[in-house]
Amino acid sequence: MQAFVDTIRAAIAAATGLPDAEIRLESPKNPEQGDLAFPCFALAKAQKAAPPAIAAALAPKLAAALSGIACTATGPYLNFQIERGALARTILGEIEARGAAFGSSTEGAGRTIVIDYGSPNIAKPMHVGHLRSTILGMALVRLHQALGYRTVGINHIGDWGAQFGALVVALRRWRGEVDLERDPVMGLLALYQRSKAAIDEKSASYDAAFAKEARDAYRELESGTDGDVRKQWRWVTQVSLAAFAKTFARLGVAHDLVRGESYFESHLQPTIARVEAAGVAEVSQGALVVMLGEIDKGLKETPCLLRQSDGTTLYATRDLAAVFDRWKEFEFERCLYVVGGEQKLHFRQLKAVLKRMGLAWEPRVEHVDFGLLLGPGRVKIASRKGAVLVLDELLDEVVDAARERVKEKSAGLANLEAVAEQVGIGALVFNDLKRERIKDVIFEKDEVTSFEGETGPYVMYTHARSCSILRKAAAAGEGGAEPDWRAIASASPVLLQLGRFPTVVRTAAAKAEPSELAQYLLGLCREYNSWLAERGNKVLGEAPAVTSARLALVRGVKIAIANGLRLLGLAAPEEM
């Protein structure tokens, strides 16, 4: 597709003298008018003429200059229509040649994208917010990789903070009262919740002695002493990480770095010193803060807290330390934080501090926020057993639903279990990615696992169906003839959609919006399935030249879908 765009742009440049940067082609509002359009408004000033008159004068000149591409004027627009045979040959030829690399490029070579995603907290199970972060983050990693960037996926585990002082005290006092053997994370959660109440002055279970011991314990942890507190904390970290690893593996995620907040322990004092040296820190009610009102009026009342009056540090201190470290190590093009909208204030503060410090790379730091994941009726998704949702349970549920669907569709499938897992997880992932990320996601397992509608299984099934056509063709020895491209003239909406794939990958990455790709895939499948359903578009058993052309289209679509699914983190089973 790019080849056509380049040819047309060169012809416009030659005919008008416009600089390259000003020649932007669009998709015509009405696809009947052409495949690409050029609005003539930019020329009006220089030529002192109305855009429609300019378009009318240019059309015959461009039509004569371009071969295989028709050019007509419609109002202020020049519309270009690529000859159908050339369109099919070029686009399908490119897909065939590039295969699994179709859609990818090297434009990001030499540049690094840091992506902070997943990032659960120890002593608690991963929740649905972490699930969304993981799914979105994984897609952003793959999209940037496809564009040739070096990506560094970081799991910024929440493993530091005052709450762990309280948890250690809870372990001292109540260890015998919970089961820490069978499911340590659930046991720790119970202790964690109980300890939170014990240090909360507003709670009925508030216990002043407990609260003091908890503060002392956190101070001991932060002091670096390798005593009992640290030993307990280390154990909590280990069992939690082991549990997270299982969930991540099931989702197909492997972080490049697991760097929890505790990693920055030795960076905390230097970080504070650096902010102080920049002259932006001040003491307020015994705490060290950075006032942000000058940078961002909305933050007037919410300074960034770097150090509490008792000397301990905060979430923000650790994030500052982390971002300094990331910049030093990677000089990133972008540092993306895939974290829910609840933390908007935190990241706004973080960026404002960087700005106040005069750090030129501040705009490269981006909070990629997202909405909630809710159950039908917009209620919080709960688990079968209790209030806390265990992610693995949700995954099991969706895989069970997918297994039933697959059994219905392809009875006797040899690798049913593996396919059910791929389809189930894929259904969940696609459902999370198909809408703009800031919107809330409603998870309804029967809906998301359906093979029809705007679902992952629908896209996967379209792929599997294409694989089946190709298998039958191979078995019957069809598809070897020289293609007659006129046999897919009516498929030009599908071809144009295929041609857009590389652009969609680029925009989805640039906007950190995987939904652009998910929506693209739905559109491609819709166009393609309706073309296949049209009478007269039979693929197999036609005249050899006709079958060859149609098989090339099937193969092109199959490759684009497989590549798109892969970038979103879904599998593309050949049978389902």
Which residues of this chain interact with ligand ARG, rule CB under 6 A?
116, 119-121, 156, 158, 319, 322, 337, 339
Taking CB positions, which residue lies at the least distance from ligand ARG? 158
Contact 46, 56 (CB under 8 A): no
Q: How far is the CB of 177 from ligand ARG (least distance, A)?
A: 26
Which is closer to ligand ARG, CB of 304 or CB of 494? 304
Q: How far is the CB of 278 from ligand ARG (least distance, A)?
A: 21
Which is closer to ligand ARG, CB of 135 or CB of 552? 135
C-alpha dihedral (483, 487, 493, 498), degrees to nearest 10: -20
SS3 305: strand
The sign of the CA dihedral 209, 211, 217, 223 is negative
User: For residue 337, what are the β-bridge partners?
Assistant: 116, 367
The secondary structure element, H or E, covering residue 114 is strand 112-116
Neighbours of 286 (CB within 10 A): 10
How far, CA to CA in Å, does 220 sit from each of 115, 228, 286?
32, 9, 20
- The total number of residues written for the chain in this structure: 576
Which is closer to ligand ARG, CB of 338 or CB of 496? 338
Q: Which long-range contacts (CB under 8 A, 24 or more apart) does 506-514 make?
A: 506/105, 506/107, 506/147, 508/143, 509/140, 509/143, 509/144, 509/146, 509/147, 512/140, 512/336, 512/366, 512/368, 512/437, 513/436, 513/437, 514/136, 514/139, 514/140, 514/143, 514/433, 514/437, 514/568
Q: How far is the CB of 312 from ligand ARG (least distance, A)?
A: 18
Q: How far is the CB of 493 from ligand ARG (least distance, A)?
A: 42
Which is closer to ligand ARG, CB of 71 or CB of 131? 131
- In one-letter notation, the amino acid at residue 253 is V
Q: How far is the CB of 163 from ligand ARG (least distance, A)?
A: 11
Helix locations, 410-491, DSSP H: 416-433, 445-448, 456-475
**CB neighbour list of residue 576: distance below 8 Å, 6 or more residues apart:** 406, 409, 410, 413, 419, 422, 423, 457, 460, 461, 464
Q: How far is the CB of 324 from ligand ARG (least distance, A)?
A: 12
Which is closer to ligand ARG, CB of 152 or CB of 522? 152
Which is closer to ligand ARG, CB of 306 or CB of 473? 306
Q: How far is the CB of 19 from ligand ARG (least distance, A)?
A: 42
Q: How far is the CB of 157 from ligand ARG (least distance, A)?
A: 7
Which is closer to ligand ARG, CB of 186 or CB of 423? 186
Which of 564, 553, 559 is CA-nearest to residue 496? 553
Which is closer to ligand ARG, CB of 271 or CB of 497? 271
Neighbours of 442 (CB within 10 A): 18
Q: What is the chain's percent helix, strand, coil content, to nearest 5?
A: 60, 10, 30
**CB neighbour list of residue 298: distance below 8 Å, 6 or more residues apart:** 348
Neighbours of 207 (CB within 10 A): 17
Which is closer to ligand ARG, CB of 394 or CB of 554? 394
Q: How far is the CB of 247 from ligand ARG (least distance, A)?
A: 14
d(CA 230, CA 164): 10
Q: How far is the CB of 154 from ligand ARG (least distance, A)?
A: 8
Which is closer to ligand ARG, CB of 156 or CB of 465? 156
Q: How far is the CB of 321 from ligand ARG (least distance, A)?
A: 10
Which is closer to ligand ARG, CB of 128 or CB of 561? 128
